[in-house]
């Protein structure tokens, strides 16, 4: 098995226009403990073809190069390529959908393609249950961020 894909949804009591900007390199600094990135573009404004680098973190076995594949703020949609050159490539999609003026559904999809034995080992361990726990943590972290 050299490929895996998982999707999950959660709802949060925040307007989509407030929530969506948090799913960016800069935005994640506000709600993800320890999140940081290297800004190689000279701006923090996310746009298609925006590139940034992260060090070792959740689901990363090495430094990762991130490239914004799609960025549609009017549709609350962002999609990233996450490349770990010796291990795997990830395709991460976040789609926010307004349920009301104050509630939003967040759909998060992670797909990984192995580039090596190390990547294949990661994919074998990236189970649906682990993914469910991972996205549940996103929801808890966002709720904690908005509670402060």
- Write out the chain's pLDDT in tens, 148 residues: 799 999 999 999 999 999 999 999 999 999 999 999 999 999 999 999 999 999 866 665 678 999 999 999 999 999 999 999 999 999 999 999 999 999 999 999 999 999 999 999 999 999 999 999 999 999 999 999 999 8
What residues contact 114, with CB distance under 8 A and at least 6 apart? 2, 3, 87, 88, 120, 122, 123
**In the chain, where the domains are located:** 3-147
Q: Are 7 and 109 in contact (CB under 8 A)?
A: yes
Q: What is the pLDDT of residues 96-123, one digit of tens each?
A: 999 999 999 999 999 999 999 999 999 9
CATH architecture of 3-147: 2-Layer Sandwich (3.30)
Q: Global pTM?
A: 0.94
């Amino acid at each position: 098995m050299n490929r895996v894909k998982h999707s999950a949804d959660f709802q949060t009591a925040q307007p989509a226009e407030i929530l969506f900007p948090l799913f960016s390199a800069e935005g994640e600094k506000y709600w993800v403990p320890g999140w940081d990135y290297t800004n190689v573009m000279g701006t923090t404004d996310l746009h298609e073809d925006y590139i940034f680098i992260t060090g070792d973190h959740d689901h990363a076995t090495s430094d990762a190069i991130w490239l914004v594949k799609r960025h549609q703020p009017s549709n609350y949609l962002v999609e990233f390529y996450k490349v770990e050159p010796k291990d795997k490539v990830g395709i991460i999609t976040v789609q926010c959908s307004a349920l009301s003026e104050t509630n939003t559904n967040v759909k998060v999809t992670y797909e990984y393609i192995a580039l090596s034995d190390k990547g294949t080992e990661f994919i074998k361990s990236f189970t649906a249950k682990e993914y469910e726990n991972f996205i549940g943590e996103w929801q808890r972290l966002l709720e904690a961020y908005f509670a402060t």
